[in-house]
Structure formats: C-alpha cells, structure tokens
Chains A and B, each alone.
Chain A
C-alpha cells in the first residue's frame, strides 16, 4: 500500500513537536530528565573566553615528533583541567602547534602563564656552592638545558625570552618570603656569608630534616636577560620523579608547595642527602633557582617543600608539577581574548536580526506566492525548529558567524521553495490540474535543488578544512551551520512543503487558482514550449 501524504504529515508533525521540545530552553516539560545536559554551546565570541595557539620551539637539533606533540598536548590538557574550565578545546594542529580554547575563562594572563611554562622541576647538586634564587643554571637534565647550555642560537634566545619575564616575579617576592620565617622557631645556622638573612627552603615533612640555610643578604638582582653561566650542575631529582604535589604550609604557616617523591627517587634522594649533609642544594624550575636550602640531615621520607613563592605562584606551580613538565618549550603565536560583554551584545543583536530577517522573508513569500507562500512559511518555521534542535543535539558550537550562517541558510532554504513554486506556477499556466502541477513542479525542480545545494555543501567542506587550519572555530562554526542548514532545507522543501501542499489540495478548498497567485483562468503558455 502506498503511504498517504497525510500519514507522512503526521510523522512530520511528531518530528516537529519533538524538535520544538528539544528547542525549549532549560528543563521545561522534561519530567524524565532526558534533556539534561542538552544546551546551546556558545562559542568564544559569544560567551567570552580565550583562544591560544602554542607553537613548539624545540632546542636546536631536537625534532618535534607527533608523539612529543601529543604528549605535550596531554600535559596541556591536564593543566587546563586544573584551571577548572568547562568544555575546553585542546587540539594539535599541523606538525608543531597546539590550539587551546578556554570558553568563559576570564584571566588570559594567568592562562598563558600556566600553560606556556615548561615547569621542569629539578633538584640539583650545587657542588657545595650556594646559589641565590633567580640564578639561571645549567644542569645535566631536561630540554631547557639544551636551550641555555649551548651557545645561544636564534631559537635558544626566543625560548629564553619568556623565562626572562618570569625571572622578576619570584626574585621580587623572595625578600618577603624570606622575611617571614626569620622567626624564633627557625634556628639559623651561622652561614658561610656573614650578615645573611635566612630563607628556609626545603625541609622534610615536618620541616625538621632540613633547616633554613643562611644565605646572601643581597637581594638577587637578575640580569635583564639572564644567561646561564658557570658549570653544569648534576640533576638529582626531576619533576618526573614526583609522586604528587600539593599546596601546604610550612612550620611558619606560609603557603608552600609540598611534594612527594616516587619510591625509587626517594631512595636516590635519601642517598644523596645523607652524603651531602651540611651542604646546600638548589631547587630549580626551568633552570632558574627557586630556593637553595642547606641539607641538615638525610631526607629519606621522600617528601619536601618548596618555599619562596607567593600564594598564586604556589598554586600555579602545584598545577604544573601535577600535570608534568612540557616535553618541549612552547611559544604563544596567536591568542584571542573576548570579554563577555561583547558576546552578550552580539547575541541580542543577532536574535533581533534573525527575527527581522525571518519576518521579511515570510512577508515576501506570502505576498508573492499566496497559499504556497503560507505553506513555505510553515515549512520554514519547521525548518528553523529542526535546525536549532540539531544544533543542540550534535552539539554545534554556536559562534557569531555560525548564527550568520544559520540566518543565511534560512534565505537559502526558501530558495528550494521558490524553485518549486516557480515550477508549480509554470505547470499551472500550461493548464495542468493542481494535483498534477504539484508533482510535476517538484519533479522538475529537484535536479536544480540537488545540484545547487551540493555545490554549496562542497564549499562548506572546504571551509571547514580551512577553518581547522586557521584554528578558527569561528569559521568552522559557520561552515557547519551552513552545511546543516542546507541539508535540512532540502529535506523540508522536498518532504514537508510537498506533503503539506498535497494534503491541503485534496481538501478541495483551494482549487481556485487565485490561491496560487494566478488569475482565475489558466493563462496561455508563455511560448509554444512543446511536450
């Protein structure tokens, strides 16, 4: 048995109801909680946020393989998760880039600081020498050593620049941090340098195994462009040896970074500290000395603390240590930050524009095509509900150009109807019955609709690829929304409009040709087009 038009129409109606139900904001009409988690995902340009493209800047002679890039991406992802951003995007791009999007994140400076820093922690053997915080050193481990250790190549200088910027931060805070612990509890050992001020730095779990070491009073003044000088120090422990890192307080109540070593590293650290009692060692992050405590006794519990940092630095370093060091130094090559107000303003404007556009199109269609026009407007409303429901279900990240693509696709959706109705009129003019004219109109219009829409879809696919390369989810959003729009418009024109026309016409109400924008009597065929 042939499926009757009204049966199809019922299916369409049910689909529309389902779509409208999905479209409704929030959890309205949702007793079973099926809609939980289905929301409109707004792009960076709408809700504000940060997009950063990081590029690997490997030391001379080191190649960035896909594995390294992937590993770096994973590290970045762990750090992003630590920042507490919902729905972030972290993708590798090409051979050496990582794209990070943090929707809704408000502090671009912190984001860059946390993500970009290599955060290679090292505890080094200073050969008995005291190294002031802020000193840049050469060590035996890690990628950064290649950068700073060898003669400065152009790449090395680039990679060194961000470190230069950070230098000022820890060193500037050192005097404060150093000031706090000069309390009664600390027992400063008379040190090598007279007139020194104590800076407690590492200690055992209770801060007893290593006591504050007296050190140079002079506040370390880092050179504008710090360069590693002197010997290459041996690395005993690196960040990779850490079991865990956490913010904690030292015996003076100051916020410090606490860490716990893996069992193997614990033994190694125990061996080292027991044979170097009385000597200083240095804790180094990205080749810059953070603190240089004196080893009071062997540290065999596998725990320690890092002092000399302010609260924000402590939290950031903990996050970085937990997520691990970057496998390769990164440089920010592109960043986009959009404040939230700009986006909200854009949403309001786009909604107004969409409604005005829809209204104009509806008015035009009804005035020009009359009954078919009304039908196309109904089809258009259904189209809008379908597309929006798909946006929510897939989900498509809505961006400003994406909304533009959606509004544009409304105009293009009408095109299919225009094509069909123009054909319908022609067939009616040729003197065909209404029912026959509808079928002929659709059949003849179909190849045009198909071919023209496929060419648009080809463009969308290329746009999507282009957008991925440029790192513009903005452009991808446009391509995706336009693609969905065009695809759904083919469905609504062919299935919805057609069956609506069929059903309405069998009712016999609309046999007068006026309803189709024609005079009562069939007009003479335009030419002697024969068939």
Chain B
C-alpha cells in the first residue's frame, strides 16, 4: 500500500517551499489593500473614445487628485483609483465636467467610495471574522471527536492545516499584489472564510475515517491506521476537489471580471486545502502521537548540553 505517512517530512517541506516565499513577500511588501480597507474611490468609466491613462491622470492631478492610479482596458474602459471622491459632492461634479470637456461624453459604470475610518474598521472586523471562524470550527471538531483519546488534537491539527491554506492564499496574493498589482478586497476575505470552511470540510472527512478505523483496530499502530485511512479517502478527496475545481475553473474562465480574483483565491485555496488535508493534517496527528516533536526538542536540548562541555 502507498506509504504516505512515512514520507511526512517531505510533505511538510513541500508546504514550506510554497508558504515561505509568500510569507517573505508578505513581510516585505504586505498586501495590496483595496479601497475597502484603505478608504478611497474606485471609479470605472466607459469613454466614448480610446484614452491614454496618462491623459486621465493629468486631468485628475489638475483638479487636486494627484497620485491617482489609472488603468485602461478594452472597450475604452478606464478604471481610476483615487483618494475619496464623495458621490454627489461638488468635487465629483467638477471632475466629471473636466473629464467630459477633455474626452467627450462617458458612461459611469460604477463608482465605489469608502471613507478612511470605515476602511480600518472593516480590516479589524475581517481579522475578527477569521479568528471567530477558527474558534467555531475548533469547538465543533472537538465536540465531534469527543469520543477519541484527544479530541482537541484533531481540532488543532485541522486548524494548523487551515492556517496552512490561509498562508498559501494570502502569501500568493501578496506576491501577486507585488508583481501584478492585484488587490485584496472585502471579497477576498469572503474567499478566505470559504477556504477555511472548505479546508476543514476536507480534513474532517479524513479524520472521520481515522476515527472509524481506530475504533475497529484496522491496523496495529496509530501510524498505520492513519496511513490506511488517508489512502482510503485519497480518491474521494481528489474527486471532490476535482469537481469543485471544475466549477471554479469554469467561473474563472467564463465568469465576469469583477469576481475573477475572488475565484482565483478560491481555486488556490481549494487545491491547497486538499493538499493540506491529505499531506499535513493527518501527518500532524502522527507527529503528535509519536511524540516526535518532544524527541526532536529533547535532542536539541541534549546537543546544547553537550556544546559547553
């Protein structure tokens, strides 16, 4: 039978190889936060003729909005990110008139404007939402696995796997934000929370099998029981995430522009979630049960005692 558990440290290494670059990018560049968190205005216009971003920027700067980011895309669409421009304010009317004078008439596709204080509040609330979701799930798992030796172990392993997925997605978006200017908005938080749910969903299926196999003593050692359970659920895990990946891929390729990066975040998260439930969560159980961490620390301590001698 496939020995997945025996190679556990390779799987952990692979996870680290994916996560560490993302975390480095996160510490160096952070996330490219959208106006949802920073406050400001996102203004999407459809002009009647092609325009250059520079021209639009000049008009904005001339009316007191320097440092605006202007992007153009197909169909003469202009996307402007700027400091807060209130709907219905005289400043907005003035800018609209100036733009009309310079580029002719345009259609306002959307304008989103967020005040700065609200942005901070949302950011705090997003962190709180992720924390609450983790706690809720930890509690539920501990309850669902109350008949095992160590119910909280399962909960903690699931949370570590979940944090793994969050780290993968956040890290990837930090790199994407740095390289491609992709922003993180309130929808991204939604994607993160969904990934959390999904990751735990996947992990629980494997844990459930371990619980069942432990109950009927399917294999002599804990390590073998875990390996047996992971192999048993492998096909199911892959098939499930494949069906979800299919639907997400369809959304990514054919869905609208506004949710593209939301879907991308989900896609990365689902793949990572499947990986972590197979290769991380259950392996953590084994590491814990074998007291490998204790032994590792003991060895470290032993070495340290040797060094001064």
Residue numbers of A with Cβ under 8 A of B are 45, 50, 52-53, 55, 108-113, 116, 162, 165, 168, 332-339, 341-342, 345-346, 349-350, 352-354, 356-358, 360-361, 364-365, 368, 400-401, 404, 407-408, 410-412, 414-415, 418-419, 422, 426, 444, 447-448, 451-456, 458-463, 465-467, 469-470, 472, 474-475, 478-479, 482, 526-527, 529-531
Docked Cα-Cα span, A444 to B209, in Å, equals 9
Main DSSP-derived SS at the A contact region: helix
Residues of B within 8 A of A360 (CB): 246-247, 249-250
4 smallest CB-CB distances across A and B, nearest first, come from: A112-B88, A459-B197, A357-B247, A411-B244
Which chain B residues numbered 196 to 239 have a C-beta less than 8 Å away from chain A?
Answer: 196-198, 200-202, 204-205, 208-209, 212-213, 216, 218-219, 228, 232-233, 235-236, 239
Pick from A353, A426, A531: contact of B216, CB under 8 Å? A531
Residues of A within 8 A of B108 (CB): 337, 339
Residues of B within 8 A of A462 (CB): 129, 132-133, 136, 193
Docked Cα-Cα span, A530 to B215, in Å, equals 11
Residues of A within 8 A of B136 (CB): 458-459, 461-462
Residues of B within 8 A of A482 (CB): 194
Say yes or no for B52: interface residue by CB 8 A criterion. Answer: no
| Closest Cβ–Cβ distance, residue A225 to chain B (whole Å) | 12
Say yes or no for B243: interface residue by CB 8 A criterion. Answer: yes
Residues of A within 8 A of B36 (CB): 470
User: By the criterion CB–CB under 8 Å, are B137 and A475 in contact?
Assistant: no
A109, A335, A345, A456 interface centre (most CB from chain B within 10 Å): A335
> For residue A110, which residue of chain B has the nearest CB?
B88
Which segment, of B26-34, B251-259, B289-297, B299-307, faces chain A?
B251-259
Known: A364-B246, A368-B239, A401-B259. A335 touches B86 (CB 8 A): yes
Can you pick out 10 interface pairs between chain A and chain B where the beta carbons lie within 8 Å of each other? Answer: A337-B110, A350-B256, A357-B246, A404-B255, A412-B198, A412-B201, A458-B140, A459-B137, A470-B186, A529-B218
User: By the criterion CB–CB under 8 Å, are B251 and A414 in contact?
Assistant: no
> For residue B132, which residue of chain A has the nearest CB?
A462
Residues of B within 8 A of A474 (CB): 186-187
| Closest Cβ–Cβ distance, residue B42 to chain A (whole Å) | 9
Pick from A333, A407, A459, A479: contact of B117, CB under 8 Å? A333
User: By the criterion CB–CB under 8 Å, are B189 and A336 in contact?
Assistant: no
User: By the criterion CB–CB under 8 Å, are A475 and B114 in contact?
Assistant: no
Known: A109-B93, A422-B235. A408 touches B194 (CB 8 A): yes
| Closest Cβ–Cβ distance, residue A475 to chain B (whole Å) | 5
Residues of B within 8 A of A336 (CB): 110-113
For chain B, the count of residues having a C-beta within 8 Å of the partner chain is: 80
Residues of B within 8 A of A418 (CB): 236, 239-240, 243
Known: A400-B259, A404-B262, A412-B244. A455 touches B89 (CB 8 A): no
Say yes or no for B122: interface residue by CB 8 A criterion. Answer: yes
Docked Cα-Cα span, A461 to B193, in Å, equals 11
Docked Cα-Cα span, A490 to B7, in Å, equals 35
> For residue B122, which residue of chain A has the nearest CB?
A470
> For residue A109, which residue of chain B has the nearest CB?
B88
Pick from A334, A338, A341: contact of B113, CB under 8 Å? A334
8 further contact pairs, Cβ within 8 A, besides A112-B89, A341-B107, A463-B190? A50-B87, A55-B115, A356-B253, A356-B254, A447-B208, A451-B141, A455-B201, A458-B197
Docked Cα-Cα span, A414 to B258, in Å, equals 26
Q: Mark B115-129, 1 if CB is under 8 A from A, else 0.
A: 101100010011001
Docked Cα-Cα span, A207 to B113, in Å, equals 45
A109, A466, A526 interface centre (most CB from chain B within 10 Å): A466
Known: A333-B117, A455-B201. A365 touches B243 (CB 8 A): yes
| Closest Cβ–Cβ distance, residue B161 to chain A (whole Å) | 12
Say yes or no for B242: interface residue by CB 8 A criterion. Answer: yes
Residues of A within 8 A of B253 (CB): 353, 356
User: By the criterion CB–CB under 8 Å, are A475 and B86 in contact?
Assistant: no
Which chain B residues numbered 121 to 169 have a C-beta less than 8 Å away from chain A?
Answer: 122, 125-126, 129, 132-133, 136-137, 140-141, 144
Docked Cα-Cα span, A113 to B87, in Å, equals 9
